[in-house]
Amino acid sequence: MPELDGVRIGIVGLGYVGLPLAVEFGRRHRTVGFDIKPARIRELRSGRDSTLETEPAELKAAKKLVFTDRIEKLRECTVFIVTVPTPVDEFKRPDLTPLEKASASVGTVLKKGDIVVYESTVYPGATEEVCVPILERVSGLRFNRDFFAGYSPERINPGDKEHRLVTIRKITSGSTPAAAATVDALYAGIIKAGTHRATSIRVAEAAKVIENTQRDVNIALINELAMLFERMGIDTQEVLEAAGTKWNFLGFRPGLVGGHCIGVDPYYLTHKAQQIGFHPEMILAGRRTNDMMGAYVVSRIVKAMLRKKIAVQGARVLLLGLTFKENCPDIRNTRVVDIVHELRGFGARVDVFDPWADAAEVQHEYGFRTIAAPRAGAYDAVVIAVAHRQFRDMGARGIRRLGKRRSVLFDIKYVLRKGQADGRL
């Protein structure tokens, strides 16, 4: 087991991934949590986490953890762990800008013998082809002689209080056998579920990116089946429940595919595939299917309204939920915004209510604000877009009260039982 007594850890990026990691390491090792946003540092120093991934008591328990927005404060660290976002741009191409900037920042404080570990989701080869050259250029050090690298993909599931950082098995890897052993030992010290040491950084990168690509393709299949069954007059949920009685049937459900992982990661893999001359037909087909689900959902809502002789032009529509998943404040890459834009394209007036989302963040990210509370009896259509527990608690009767006497209730997330809504996927 490598010697870890003197290790000092620097976490670069304190979002949904970085903060839980910093807290766990901060219980055992001297740890510096770095983020470029001063407001985030002030918040964490006050003992509050707006992502709700870490409780105040957990922050307090990390006695060896300090927070800073000054990169110089990481100069004494010996292990750097980079946990910045890896989004796609408007053309669905990987945007490595945050990763490149983080690598450049780390390069300014990198010393001989240090290890830089990346957790951000990338395509196979990105760590050694993109990040390492930046570290070398900025630091003036030589890779695998003066400093080393590792890759340990994040597996955070925002809002999930059961599957936490320490209860999910961790993949680790390193650029040399010694570095791999050190990285693995470091994570093994905090991950109760254990670790899996991959044979190379590229293997670890590939393992991460296919986890969510597999889910994306499977959800796309179910979404396509939902479209088919709707045309056939068959209830998709009933079909899935029946098929689910077989032990090896996978329990996927139709719906919008957003968030920071499933709706993004496949584009990293397809980008690399096309670079080397391989066209990934199934992966891209799945992405196309899932990307058009917002338009499909709106077509179903509009048809339901027209069946009740409700004019869509000028209609008031309420969307319940905006975050990319239930019971968490994460609005990254939420596909509910597709429904907002599609409905407004039909001339509808759309209100969005989400008790979990931060209104200012929504305004900054998507250009509109959520409402503080919906008004009862005001809407021509009410759409359950996210299965927050607050909406489940309202039940069909409570949600119906938000609509006019003649209105449409459409359930995207199977919050209500069959027959309680006017339509569902």
Q: Has 131 been annotated as catalytic?
A: no
pLDDT on residue 1 = 41
171 neighbors 68 (Cβ within 8 angstroms): no
Distances (CA, A) of 212 to 227, 264, 279, 285, 310: 22, 9, 19, 15, 39
pLDDT tens by residue, 201-211? 999 999 999 99
Where the chain has pLDDT below 50, the residues are 1
Which one, of 363, 337, 331, lies nearest residue 350 by Cα? 337
Q: Could you list the beta-strand ranges (E) of 126-223.
A: 148-151, 170-172, 195-197
Neighbour order of strands in the sheet with 403-411: 349-353, 316-320, 379-384, 403-411, 423-424
Beta carbons within 10 angstroms of residue 84's beta carbon: 25
Average pLDDT, the chain: 95
| Cα–Cα separations (whole angstroms), residue 20 to 59, 73, 154, 192, 409 | 9, 20, 11, 14, 38
pLDDT at 2: 62
Instruction: Tell me which of 77, 131, 261, 328 is the catalytic residue.
Output: 261
Query: How far is CA 26 from its chain centroid?
Result: 24
What's residue 101's pLDDT? 98
- Hey, which bits of 38-122 come out as E strands? 65-68, 79-82, 115-118
Q: Tell me: the pLDDT tens digits for 81-99? A: 999 999 999 899 999 999 9
